[in-house]
Amino acid sequence: MGKASTKNTLLIVVLSAYCLLTLVPFYILAVRAFTPTIQSTELHLWIPERRDLSMNSRIGDLSTIYNVDARAFRNAMEIKGYLNPQLKLSQIAEQYGIEPDRIRDYLEPYVQYNGIYTIVNNGFVRSLIATIVVTGASVLVGALLGIMTGSALAGFRRRWHMFVYNSYLLNMIIPPMMVILPQYIIITRYLGLENSLMSLILLHIKGGALSTMVFTSYIATVPRELKESVAMDGGKHYHYFLYILLPLMGTPFAVFASITMPWFWNDLLHALVLLRPDNYTLPAFVASIGGTFTTNFEAIFSGVLLSLAPILVVYLVFQKLFIRSAMAGAVKG
Which chain residues interact with other proteins by CB under 8 A?
A: 223, 225-226, 228-235, 239, 243-244, 247-248, 326-332
Q: Rounded CA gap, 181 and 175, in Å?
A: 12
* Amino acid residing at 128: L
Whole-number Cα distances in Å, 93 to 8, 55, 110, 273: 67, 9, 18, 44
Q: CB 241 → other proteins: shortest distance, Å?
A: 13
159 or 332: whose CB is closer to other proteins? 332
Q: CB 314 → other proteins: shortest distance, Å?
A: 22
97 or 234: whose CB is closer to other proteins? 234
328 Cβ contact list (under 8 Å, min separation 6)? none
DSSP-derived 3-state class of residue 58: strand
Q: Rounded CA gap, 115 and 125, in Å?
A: 15
128 or 327: whose CB is closer to other proteins? 327
15 or 242: whose CB is closer to other proteins? 242
Q: CB 222 → other proteins: shortest distance, Å?
A: 9
Output the DSSP codes for 66-87.
H---HHHHHHHTT--S---TT-
Cβ-based neighbour number of residue 282 at 10 Å: 29
Cβ-based neighbour number of residue 299 at 10 Å: 27
Q: Rounded CA gap, 205 and 184, in Å?
A: 16
Query: Which has the closest alpha carbon to 211: 175, 160, 159, 264?
Result: 264
Residue 148 parent element (H or E): helix 124-153
119 or 248: whose CB is closer to other proteins? 248
253 or 285: whose CB is closer to other proteins? 253
- C-alpha dihedral sign at 221, 137, 133, 169: positive
Q: CB 239 → other proteins: shortest distance, Å?
A: 6
Q: CB 230 → other proteins: shortest distance, Å?
A: 8
163 Cβ contact list (under 8 Å, min separation 6)? none
Q: CB 150 → other proteins: shortest distance, Å?
A: 17
173 Cβ contact list (under 8 Å, min separation 6)? none
Q: CB 147 → other proteins: shortest distance, Å?
A: 15
251 or 288: whose CB is closer to other proteins? 251
Q: CB 225 → other proteins: shortest distance, Å?
A: 4
Q: Rounded CA gap, 241 and 151, in Å?
A: 9
99 or 225: whose CB is closer to other proteins? 225
